Amino acid sequence: TQLLEQSPQFLSIQEGENLTVYCNSSSVFSSLQWYRQEPGEGPVLLVTVVTGGEVKKLKRLTFQFGDARKDSSLHITAAQPGDTGLYLCAGPSSGSRLTFGEGTQLTVNP
């Protein structure tokens, strides 16, 4: 079973600060995805990284896929209250299932 370890589990920061969320595994993944979920909604796909070493940017969010395709990180620059939410990394497993990390609950205080 492929597991994804996500850290930190909780993060509370002030508006304008930077932060990084990590997603690690002992297994190689063909791709990794990052989702954000707000209360009362389902997770929404932010990005998919496919190539080892790949870096993708989405406005103030930077996603990186490790060279060995065993880890990924999400960096947010100058966080805003609108970034508050549950961030989940996920990777494909057998039968088109998704394996999810434990999630990072981010709170950005104004």
Partner 1 sequence: SAVISQKPSRDICQRGTSLTIQCQVDSQVTMMFWYRQQPGQSLTLIATANQGSEATYESGFVIDKFPISRPNLTFSTLTVSNMSPEDSSIYLCSAMTGDYGYTFGSGTRLTVV
* Site of interaction with partner 1 (CB under 8 A): 31, 33, 39-45, 48, 50, 86, 88, 90, 92, 95-98, 100-103, 105
Q: Tell which phi-psi region holds residue 7, choosing left (phi > 0), alpha (psi between -120 and 50) or beta.
A: beta
Percentages helix, strand, coil for the chain (3-state, rounded to 5) are 5, 55, 40
The C-alpha atoms of residue 22 and residue 33 are separated, in whole angstroms, by: 12
The C-alpha atoms of residue 80 and residue 85 are separated, in whole angstroms, by: 11
Closer Cβ to partner 1, 12 or 77, answer by number: 12
Closest distance to partner 1 from the beta carbon of 93 (Å):
9
Closest distance to partner 1 from the beta carbon of 37 (Å):
8
Bridge-based pairing of strands 10-14 and 104-109 is parallel
Closer Cβ to partner 1, 42 or 110, answer by number: 42
Closest distance to partner 1 from the beta carbon of 74 (Å):
15
Closer Cβ to partner 1, 40 or 82, answer by number: 40
